[in-house]
């Protein structure tokens, strides 16, 4: 027979024990998740600091012999910055417009559902495949040269679904009340989107774009197949092989000398710093645009 | 600038569901018309058909006629955007644009629709805020975000935003339902003064409010669950509250409903 308990009861021992166990499990999971993160960061900083100097940031690997010390990643930094900027230039407008279509115009129609499906498929495309695609289509079939731009195209294929998904989520968070308020003022739909919906979602969209940038900035495989390698500086992303920081790390780490291994660590550190710097800039932009800045 | 609205045989649907049926009425200019009725009888739906906001909802459509003086609002070739510019709306929940300052919120309708010089805008913003009884409270912080105001102030900001575009008609859907008695009183005073220039329609669940502010009252009701809402009667407010023509109206306003 069960008795119905009434009144205020003390917490039972079994609940107390369960609470403890779950507490411990949660903290344990947190610790396990943080250990690899912190140790990777620590290792990269420890090993990378050694060569993190002015020469590294301002010189390429041109005329640096296999055993020579010195040399730097200037050509790779330039390459990564150009490739990632170009990739963002392609992926962000397309991704953003797709998200706007899905949220504001598609409204669950056939086209919207199939686009949504393909975006999901694209999210699962392995990075090598996007590189292979550009290699097969752009370089082999159309006969274009290896170039930073080809790499940017491969990266943009990887960026696009991330941008679409995060922007879509942010646009859906914009309350419908605001759209209706704008319509009720006699503002056409497209202006409502440009002046009310996008600014309201702006901070979230910037964060999503940064995540996408961070994801592709470290990609090696697609670059390997599309921008190829070089030890020299090539400022022109549309012509000839370029370097990228992930490629540089991959290349240097494969060499047998300690000086090369050191350069690889420093390359990795530089890449992390660049991504962090971009993040900081994005946060500043978001903060600068937010109404909170103007005080409340 | 206030104009008369004539509605004839109006039905509104959400997909296959008919929400209101056969509504015919005349809304007088320079007067306040109140809509009362039980929840779900289609007051908001009907209000939104008057400025073509109903069709914004996917699957929603309207049949019948709405005329603003001599213009058929649902006629072929009529731009719903220009209808909404002429017939403004204030919503139940205050909804200032969160990314904009107080000033920008009031100027939003003008800025988003055309070009105005800075001094023109300044003048309109000031007169609209004064018209909404908010100027004294915010004149020192026009550049602060609108979301930093209290609920009642936000609602008055929304009214200022709506009157800044100089509409001919102002529709208000339970504008005071989220407000305290003092803010409610401020908005009721405001409605009485706006009546000089605008045609005003207000939906309210508050009988005293309807009796206080309106000249005409329309009572809506539905026959049963899932049935479309209908206009039961419409008359001078004083008549509706003292000597209504229908039994259902009397039951509703005296609280003997359902
Ligand atoms: N977006 C919508 N989609 C589908 N049906 C809706 C929608 N909005 C309202 N309805 C339906 O239309 C009918 C009328 O709703 P409406 O909001 O007009 O009532 P109301 O009189 O304003 O009620 P309240 O006093 O509670 O605000 C209701 O049956 C409601 O379920
Ligand atoms: Mg309603």
Judgement on whether residues A226 and A190 belong to the same structural domain of the protein? yes
- Tallying the residues shown for chain B, one arrives at 258
**Whole-number Å distance between alpha carbons of B105 and A292:** 15
For position A151, which CATH number holds? 1.10.3720.10
CB atoms within 10 A of CB A77: 23
Q: Is residue A2 part of a domain?
A: no
Q: Taking 60 as the threshold, does the pLDDT of residue B23 lie above it?
A: yes
Looking at the fold, whether A23 and A63 belong to one and the same domain comes out as no
**A62 and A39 belong to one structural domain:** no
Cβ pair A79, A239 in contact under 8 A: no
From A183, A185, A291, residue closest to B99, measured CB to CB: A291
Q: Is A109 helix (H, G, I), strand (E, B) or coil?
A: coil
Question: B43, B91, B219, B226: which to mutate for ligand 1, most atoms within 8 A of CB?
Answer: B43
Q: Is residue A8 part of a domain?
A: no
Same domain, A103 and A179: yes
Q: Which domain holds residue A227?
A: 55-295
pLDDT bracket for residue B158 (50, 70, 90)? very high
Q: Looking at residue A296, what is its pLDDT?
A: 39
pTM for this predicted structure = 0.86
Q: How far apart are CA B201 and CA B214, in angstroms?
A: 9
B39 CB near ligand 1 (under 6 Å): yes
- Rounded Cα gap, residues A217 and A212, in angstroms: 9
- Overall number of domains in chain A: 2
Cβ of A184 within 8 Å of Cβ of B144? The answer is no
- Shared-domain flag, residues A201 and A270: yes
Give the tens place of pLDDT for each residue, A136-183.
999 999 999 999 999 999 999 999 999 999 999 999 999 999 999 999
Average pLDDT over residues A203-209: 91
Counting ligands in written order, which one lies closest to the CA of residue B230? 1
Residue A203 is assigned to a structural domain of this protein: yes
Which residue's alpha carbon is nearest to atom 29 within ligand 1? Answer: B40
Residues A35 and A157 grouped into a single domain: no
Please check whether residue A28 lies inside any domain of the structure: yes
ipTM (interface pTM): 0.90
In a domain? residue A208:
yes
A158 and A241 share one domain: yes
User: For residue range A37-62, what is the model confidence (pLDDT) as tens digits?
Assistant: 999 999 999 999 989 999 999 999 88
Question: What does the alpha-carbon distance between residue B96 and residue B102 come to, in Å, rounded to a whole number?
Answer: 8
Where among A28, A48, A68 does a domain terminate? A48
Give the HSE-up count for residue B157: Cα atoms under 13 Å, Cβ half-sphere. 31
Contacts of B97 in chain A (CB under 8 A): 178, 181-182, 196, 200
Q: Is B57 close to ligand 1, i.e. is its CB under 6 Å away?
A: yes
pLDDT at A295 over 50: no
Domain assignment present for A132: yes
**Alpha helices by DSSP H, chain A:** 13-48, 54-58, 74-100, 110-123, 127-134, 148-173, 176-184, 189-192, 198-217, 221-226, 245-253, 258-289
**Do residue A94 and residue A31 come from a single domain?**
no
Neighbours of ion ligand 2 (CB under 5 A): B 44
Residue A3 lies in a domain: no
B contact set with A (CB within 8 A): 51, 53, 56, 58, 81-86, 88-89, 91, 93, 95-101, 108-109, 112-113, 143-145, 147-148, 158, 161-162, 165
pLDDT above 80: residue B107: yes
Identify whether A94 is part of a domain.
yes
Task: Evaluate the CA torsion angle A199, A203, A209, A210 in order and state its sign.
Answer: positive
A263 and A128 assigned to the same domain: yes
Tell whether A106 and A167 lie within a shared domain.
yes
Residues A256 and A290 occupy one common structural domain: yes
A147 shares its domain with A290: yes
């Amino acid at each position: 027979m069960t008795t119905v308990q009434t009144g205020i009861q003390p917490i039972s021992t079994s609940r107390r024990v369960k609470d403890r166990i779950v507490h411990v499990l949660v903290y344990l999971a947190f610790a396990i998740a943080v250990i690899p993160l912190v140790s990777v960061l620590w290792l990269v900083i420890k090993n990378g600091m050694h060569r993190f100097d002015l020469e590294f940031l301002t010189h390429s690997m041109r005329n640096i012999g296999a055993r020579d010390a010195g040399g730097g990643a200037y050509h790779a930094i330039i390459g990564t910055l150009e490739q990632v900027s170009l990739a963002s230039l392609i992926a962000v407008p397309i991704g953003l417009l797709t998200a706007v279509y899905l949220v504001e115009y598609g409204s669950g129609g056939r086209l919207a559902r199939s686009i949504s499906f393909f975006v999901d498929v694209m999210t699962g495309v392995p990075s090598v495949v996007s590189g292979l695609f550009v290699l097969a289509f752009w370089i082999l079939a159309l006969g274009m040269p290896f170039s930073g731009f080809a790499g940017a195209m491969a990266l943009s294929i990887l960026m696009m679904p991330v941008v679409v998904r995060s922007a879509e989520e942010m646009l859906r968070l914009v309350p419908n009340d605001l759209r209706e308020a704008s319509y009720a003022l006699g503002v056409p739909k497209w202006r409502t989107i440009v002046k009310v919906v996008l600014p309201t979602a702006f901070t979230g969209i910037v964060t999503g774009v940064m995540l996408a940038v961070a994801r592709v900035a470290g990609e090696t495989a697609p670059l390997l197949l599309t921008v190829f390698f070089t030890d020299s500086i090539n400022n022109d992303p549309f012509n000839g092989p370029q370097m990228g920081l992930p490629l540089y790390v991959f290349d240097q780490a494969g060499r047998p000398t300690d000086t090369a291994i050191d350069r690889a660590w420093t390359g990795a550190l530089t890449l992390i710093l660049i991504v962090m710097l971009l993040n900081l800039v994005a946060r500043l932009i978001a903060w600068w645009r937010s109404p909170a800045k103007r005080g409340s | 600038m206030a104009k008369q609205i004539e509605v004839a045989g109006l039905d509104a649907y959400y997909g296959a569901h008919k929400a209101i049926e056969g509504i015919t009425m005349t809304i007088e200019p320079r007067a306040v018309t109140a809509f009362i009725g039980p929840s779900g009888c289609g007051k908001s739906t009907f209000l939104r058909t008057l400025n073509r906001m109903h069709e914004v909802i996917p699957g929603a459509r309207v049949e019948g006629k709405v005329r603003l003086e001599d213009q058929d609002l649902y006629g072929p070739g009529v731009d719903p955007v220009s209808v909404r510019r002429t017939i403004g709306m204030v919503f139940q929940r205050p909804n200032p644009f969160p990314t904009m300052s107080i000033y920008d919120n009031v100027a939003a309708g003008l800025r988003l629709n055309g070009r105005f010089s800075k001094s023109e805008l300044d003048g309109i913003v000031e007169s609209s805020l004064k018209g909404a009884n908010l100027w004294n409270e915010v004149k020192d912080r026009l550049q602060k975000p609108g979301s930093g105001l209290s609920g009642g102030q936000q609602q008055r900001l929304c009214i200022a935003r709506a009157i800044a575009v100089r509409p001919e008609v102002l529709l208000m859907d339970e504008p005071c339902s989220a407000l305290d008695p003092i803010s409610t009183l401020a908005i009721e005073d405001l409605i009485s003064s706006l009546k000089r220039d605008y045609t005003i329609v207000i939906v309210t669940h508050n009988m005293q409010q309807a009796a206080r502010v309106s000249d005409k009252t329309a009572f809506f009701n539905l026959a049963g669950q899932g049935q479309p809402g209908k206009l039961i009667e419409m008359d001078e407010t004083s008549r509706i509250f003292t000597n209504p023509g229908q039994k259902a109206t009397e039951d509703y306003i005296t609280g003997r409903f359902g």
